[in-house]
């Protein structure tokens, strides 16, 4: 059997970061300015600490000014909102990211609503979600959630045109499924959103030229659900009992049917932070020119 | 051949208006307050004048305070924005609707952005679109575009549960196709959005338990595209050379295949203003209680 092309997210993310670094160097040479990314971390969740450290490190590597605001776990809603108000008002702050999940006593929706939409580099503010959903603004000029944006860049690395292709998105989360469906629609795909209530999910997935799996269940999508030659983007990152990472797609099966597929790890994962940096640069250019 | 059930939009809209009138009478009896709907009309487009007059008349019939602000065709962007700022600041104004289309010299997106989202009874502000797209707020508590909302009420009049049904939306406009897809997803349908770039549109439509046609082309959807027993919502209102109105669906053919179908006229059309009144009441209750 022919095996699918592996979509190398690690390499594509590195190339994107290199491109961002070049652009920032050019901006700095002309204006002396560099984009500033500010990450707000409340509490000491170990996984969140690791993510924030990675974001800081890669932001610095591409030449950004990177600041992490580490607040104690018992930070009040008022204090957090005051921190955000300060960052909103600071012209040197281009991107604001509040690391999720927040401790339970905080109102996440109100916190996200309090971020200046022009600095919302996670693309989660409802104003940014609404502009994406309206379909009138080129997503290039929007702050779009990072994982969906990364998924699209991976798709475009193997499919020069997406127009008219049947895309099936499995999962309808606010962070991934819903925005990636919007981006696929914007790219002129015929888009189906499937989810836990979908009947005959295998049959629905079998229609797809493009499958985006974002369900959070390891090996959920089977190889015989994949139309031969389809492109498969596996957003799932599930930690298995043996400590290894597994995607939402049964890779060993799907790689035999797909035309191209992302591995886990090394597929969508590395794209997420690269797209956060891309959004920070986009926000910088929109606010400060360059 | 068995013929489809006709979905009587005129009767369902009248029942909705009667229910709104009863609720307003109750609020008035307790508080002395009634919802205020303010429609802003720029210029003298004859069709827009007719629509605005209908909205005023029906708003008064359900017991609302109804005000039309008629501005000359050469109104500047600044003047229009100042008008909206005044309405935003006026506590007696619950709903603000800017009749579209605006004259070409005006920036429609900036005008809609200037409406207080809490008074945006057309549901077009990107903040409202983003809340709908996020999927976390019950649409009952949102200001949702009126025609999609009306389409959902018609669907629910014949289908007690939409969960797991395959819905195909034909058309991806900001006013109809996109928001109706969001509402169908929220109702747990498996949702496909088809459009001008969709390949094999008849085959895509044949999958559908629910078809929503919003393309603006008379008789575009043929009878043999309809799965036997499907529910068909025809959003199109096209004026034919003979002066009659025609939907986007070939009604004479589709009525033989569908299980239920909306006629044109008398289907979705009457629901739109009724849902505008419903949104105005929703906005009133959210802002002022009751």
The predicted complex's ipTM stands at: 0.96
CB contact under 8 A, A198 and B190: yes
Average of per-residue pLDDT across A136-156: 95
> Which residues of A form the catalytic set?
55, 99, 122
Burial A65-95 (b: 16+ CB within 10 A, else e): bbebbeeeeebeeeebbebbeebeeeeebbb
B57 and B100 co-located in one domain: yes
pLDDT of B30: 96
Q: What is the mean pLDDT of residues B227-234?
A: 98
Q: Is residue B4 part of a domain?
A: no
- Cβ of B129 within 8 Å of Cβ of A125? The answer is no
Residue B196, C-beta contacts closer than 8 angstroms, at least 6 positions apart: none
Q: Residue A1 domain-assigned? A: no
Q: Which pLDDT value is given to residue A289?
A: 80
- Between chains, do A178 and B133 touch, taking CB under 8 Å as contact? yes
- Tokens for B72? 């000359």
Are residues A159 and A224 both part of a single domain? yes
How many angstroms separate the CA of residue B75 from the nearest CA in chain A? 25
What's the whole-number mean pLDDT along residues A150-156?
Answer: 98
**Is A152 inside any structural domain?**
yes
Task: Tell me the β-bridge partners of B232.
Answer: B211, B261
Of A193, A261, A192, A254, the closest CA to residue A224 belongs to A254
Distances (CA, A) of B279 to A117, B120, B287: 26, 9, 12
List pLDDT tens digits, range A191-208. Answer: 999 999 999 999 999 999
Nearest CA in chain A to B195: A190
The CATH number covering residue B153 comes to: 3.40.50.720
Dump pLDDT digits (tens) for A206-240: 999 999 999 999 999 999 999 999 999 999 999 99
Q: In angstroms, what separates the C-alpha of A245 from chain B's closest C-alpha?
A: 28
Confidence of residue A161 (pLDDT cuts 50, 70, 90): very high
DSSP single-letter state for residue A4: P
SS3 A80: helix
In a domain, A97, yes or no: yes
> Average of pLDDT values for B151-162?
97
B164, B208 contact by CB (below 8 A): no
Its domain, for residue A183, covers 132-269
Whether residue B187 is predicted with pLDDT greater than 90 in this model: the reply is yes
pLDDT tier for residue B152 given thresholds of 50, 70 and 90: very high
Counted domains in chain A:
2
Domain check: are A165 and A102 in the same one? no
Chain B: closest CA distance from residue A197 (Å)? 5
pTM of the model: 0.97
- What percentage of chain A has pLDDT greater than the value 90? 96
A171 labelled as ligand-binding? yes
Residue among A129, A188, A190 whose CB faces B133 most closely: A129
Per-residue confidence band for B31, with pLDDT thresholds at 50, 70 and 90: very high
The predicted-structure confidence for A51-100, as pLDDT tens digits, reads as follows: 999 999 999 999 999 999 999 999 999 999 999 999 999 999 999 999 99
CB < 8 Å to A182, chain B = 133
Under an 8 A CB cutoff, do A164 and B197 touch? yes
Q: What is the DSSP string of B156-206?
A: HHH-S--TT-EEEEE---TTTHHHHHHHHHHTT-EEEEE-TT-SSHHHHHH
Q: What is the phi-psi region of residue A32: left when phi exceeds 0, alpha when psi lies from -120 to 50, beta otherwise? A: left
- Could you tell me which residues of chain B have a Cβ less than 8 Å from any Cβ in chain A? 109, 125-136, 163-164, 166, 172, 174, 178-179, 182, 185, 188, 190-195, 197-199, 204
- Segment B175-204 shows an average pLDDT of 98
Backbone phi and psi for residue B253, each to the nearest 5 degrees, phi listed first: -75, -45
* In a shared domain, residues B149 and B227: yes
- pLDDT of the residue at A2: 67
| For range A135-142, the mean pLDDT | 90
Query: Does residue B1 register a pLDDT over 90?
Result: no
Does one domain contain both B39 and B141?
no
Are B162 and B226 within one domain? yes
- Nearest residue of chain B to residue A117 (CA atoms): B127
Q: Which residues of B does the annotation place in the binding site for NADP(+)?
A: 171-173, 237
Nearest alpha carbon to residue A5 among A265, A247, A268, A263? A263
Answer yes or no: are the C-beta atoms of B157 and B12 closer than 8 Å: yes
Q: B195 to chain A: which residues are within 8 Å by CB?
A: 185, 188, 190
State whether B170 and B194 are in the same domain: yes
Q: Are residues B68 and B175 in the same domain?
A: no
Please enumerate in sequence order all residues whose Cβ is within 8 A of that of B191, keeping only pairs 6 or more positions apart, or say none: A192, A193, B167, B168, B169, B181, B184, B185
Tell which of B71, B87, B116 closes a domain: B116
- The reply to whether B195 and B107 lie within a common domain is no
Q: Are residues A183 and A260 in the same domain?
A: yes
Nearest by CB to A172, which of B129, B130, B135? B135
Residues B97 and B170 in one domain: no
- Judge whether B64 and B277 are in contact, CB under 8 Å: yes
Question: According to the model, what pLDDT value does residue B289 have?
Answer: 80
- How far off is chain A from B221, nearest CA to CA, in Å? 17
User: Region A97-123: what's the mean pLDDT?
Assistant: 97
Residues of B in contact with A174 (CB under 8 A): 134-136
Residue B98 and residue B149 share a domain: no
């Amino acid at each position: 059997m022919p095996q699918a092309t592996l979509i190398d997210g690690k390499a594509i993310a590195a190339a994107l970061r290199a491109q961002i670094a070049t652009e920032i160097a050019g901006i700095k040479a002309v204006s002396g300015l560099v984009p500033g990314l500010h990450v707000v971390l409340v509490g000491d969740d170990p996984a969140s600490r690791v993510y924030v450290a990675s974001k800081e490190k890669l932001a610095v590597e591409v030449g950004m000014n990177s600041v992490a605001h580490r607040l104690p776990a018992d930070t009040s809603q008022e204090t957090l909102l005051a921190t955000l108000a300060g960052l909103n008002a600071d012209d040197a702050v281009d991107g604001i990211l509040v690391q999720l999940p927040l401790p339970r006593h905080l109102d996440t929706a109100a916190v996200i609503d309090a971020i200046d939409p022009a600095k919302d580099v996670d693309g989660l503010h409802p104003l940014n979600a609404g502009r994406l959903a309206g379909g009138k603004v080129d997503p290039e000029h929007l702050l779009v959630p990072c994982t969906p944006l990364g998924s699209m860049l991976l798709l475009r690395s193997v499919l020069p045109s997406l127009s008219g292709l049947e895309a099936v998105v499995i999962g309808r989360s606010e962070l991934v499924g819903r925005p990636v469906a919007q981006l696929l629609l914007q790219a002129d795909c015929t888009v189906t959103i499937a989810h836990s209530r979908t009947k005959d999910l295998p049959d629905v997935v079998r229609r797809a030229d493009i499958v985006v799996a974002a369900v959070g269940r390891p090996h959920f999508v089977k190889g015989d659900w994949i139309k031969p030659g389809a492109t498969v983007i596996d957003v799932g990152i599930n930690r298995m009992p043996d400590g290894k990472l597994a995607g939402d797609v049964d890779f060993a099966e799907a790689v035999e049917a797909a035309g191209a597929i992302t591995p886990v790890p090394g597929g969508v994962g590395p794209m997420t932070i690269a797209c956060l940096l891309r959004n920070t640069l986009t926000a910088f250019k929109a606010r400060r020119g360059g």
